Structures are given as structure tokens and as C-alpha cells.
Amino acid sequence: MSSYVLRRLLAIVALAFGISVVVFLIIRLIPGDPVAALLGTSAGDKEVASRLRAQLGLDLPMHVQYWQWLTALMHGDFGYSYGNQQSVTSLLAANFPATIQLTIAALIVSLTLGMALGVLAAVKRNKAADTVAMTVALTFMSIPSFWLGLLLILLFAVTLPWFDVVGGTSLKGLVLPAATLALGSMGFNARFVRSSIIAAQTQRHVITARAKGISRVRVFLKHVLRNALLPILTIVGLQVGQLLSGTVIVETVFSRPGIGRLLVQAILAKDYLTVQAVVFIIAGIYALTNFIVDLLYPVFDPRVASR
């Protein structure tokens, strides 16, 4: 078990380093000059532009820029956002809680509805309920999140004024953004759960348990659902990354504060340091979530730790 954890720990450290390199290099490929974007009409003053470029460290070799950024990053310093006139760390602290709230709410809704539809479809396999459940899942998988968000706003905030239209940070204002973010992944979860349960139902020990006369409900809960849980655990780690990246669109559509909307604004303003920080945070959370999922695997299946 200890060697398994050590391997996963070394893997996530290497992954974090790789993420930092990729994030740093990709941001540098964005067309345009951040100095010109920050200075605006004053960009023509070469002395001012040169001074700001030196202040941002953009006049240094690429490897030196990366090392300085990485060193500051390890000390919790993400740099200074000149566009917002405050540190990137304070920007993240102000916007991060709203994104985490939205992601957790969407994850709960997605897993709950997805598992319910998936179990229903698997239990009623090749029947009308299976067809209806999978049709609903496929429909929501096919709808772009920005369009779904606009439809929900039109229906439940304009036509039926039940929820806040945009910008709501209360529980009432969380419902529509969370539903928009969750429904697309809910369809994927439903199809995945259905496949996992159907595969688990064909295992020999499940067939043997049924042959012994054990009730179908007990067999399903004790044998089928438990065996299907491990693949489902995998998609939880994948879902977190998908939902975090989906907040970029959803927070923009609903004018909701969060790091997704902050990322869009930083890209438009060519705020390199803010973009780097947000992308690194999203990728880091995704990697950390999958690391936690890897640690939970041996809990549900002890055979994994011995590999």
C-alpha cells in the first residue's frame, strides 16, 4: 500500500511540473503584446513600454522568466495583475469560492441524476424506461452549455420569474448555473453507470448469488452496485476537471463571479499572470482530484494496491 501511494505521489509531482511548463509556454503563444494592451494609448511611448516590459520581466530569457515565476509560485505568489490593480492571489481568493460552490453543486446534481437514470436504464434494460432514460441522457449531452443556459434563463427567470436572471450569488441564484453545468455531464454519467451495472450483472459471482435464491434487491446492492462503483469512481475525477473548465462558459453566460469569468476577462486584457494562475489552478485541482481518486481505489478494491 505504501509503495502504491508513493508511486502516485511521485506521479502527481511530475505532473504538476509538466503542467507548469505547458501553462507557461502556451500563454506565451497568445498573439499580441501584453504591454501594449496594458498601456493602451500610451503604448507608443517606447520608454514607458520598455520600463513596464522590464517590470514584468518580459525582457528576460524565457527560461529565466519561467524560473522566476515558478519560484514565486512555490511561495504562493502568483504575481500582480496590472489590469485589475491588485495581486493575482487576492483576485483568486475573491473569485475562487464562487467557482468551488458552483462546481460542487453541479457535481452533486450530475452524479445524483446520472446515477438515478443509469440505474433505471440498467434495471429496465431494453424496455421503454431504458429508451426514455437514454434519450434524455443523449439529449442533454448534445446541447451546448451556453445555449442550455440561455434556455433556462428564458424559461425559469424571464417567463417564470422563479430564479435570478444573472449575477446571483445566493442559493436561489445558484440553481440555474448549477443545472446548466450539471445536465450535460449528467447524460454522460447515466450512460456510463448503465454500462457498468450491465457489465457487473454478468459476473459469475452475481449469477451464483441469484442461483442461491438471494433476493434481487440484495444481490444488486451487495454485488452489482459495489462492483460497478469502481468505474464510477473514475468518472468522478474526470467530472471535476470537466465541470471546472465548464465554469468558464457558465459563469460568463450568467455573469456570475468566479475564476472562469476571471479567466475570460484576463485573456481579453492579455493579463498573462492572471491567465497563468487560473489555468494552473484548474489543472492542479484536476490532477489533485484524480490523485485522491487513485488513493480511494484500494479502499474499494484491495487488488489495485498489489499491482
Each residue's pLDDT expressed in tens, for the chain with a length of 307 residues: 577 677 777 888 888 888 888 888 877 776 666 676 666 666 666 777 777 777 777 777 878 888 888 888 888 888 888 777 888 888 888 888 888 888 888 988 988 888 888 888 888 888 888 889 888 888 888 888 888 888 888 888 888 877 776 656 677 778 888 888 888 888 888 888 888 878 777 777 767 777 777 777 777 766 677 677 777 777 777 788 788 888 888 888 888 888 888 888 888 777 778 888 888 888 888 888 878 877 777 666 655 555 5
Considering the domain boundaries, does residue 244 fall inside one? yes
Considering the domain boundaries, does residue 5 fall inside one? no
Where in the sequence is the domain holding 175, given as residue range(s)?
89-304
Task: Residue 208: give its domain's CATH number.
Answer: 1.10.3720.10
Query: Distance (Å, rounded) from C-alpha 253 to C-alpha 241?
Result: 19
Considering the domain boundaries, does residue 57 fall inside one? no
Considering the domain boundaries, does residue 2 fall inside one? no
Q: How many domains does the chain have?
A: 1
Q: What is the pLDDT of residue 221?
A: 67
Phi, psi of 86 (to 5 degrees): -160, 165
Considering the domain boundaries, does residue 48 fall inside one? no
Considering the domain boundaries, does residue 119 fall inside one? yes
Rounded to two decimals, what is the model's pTM?
A: 0.78
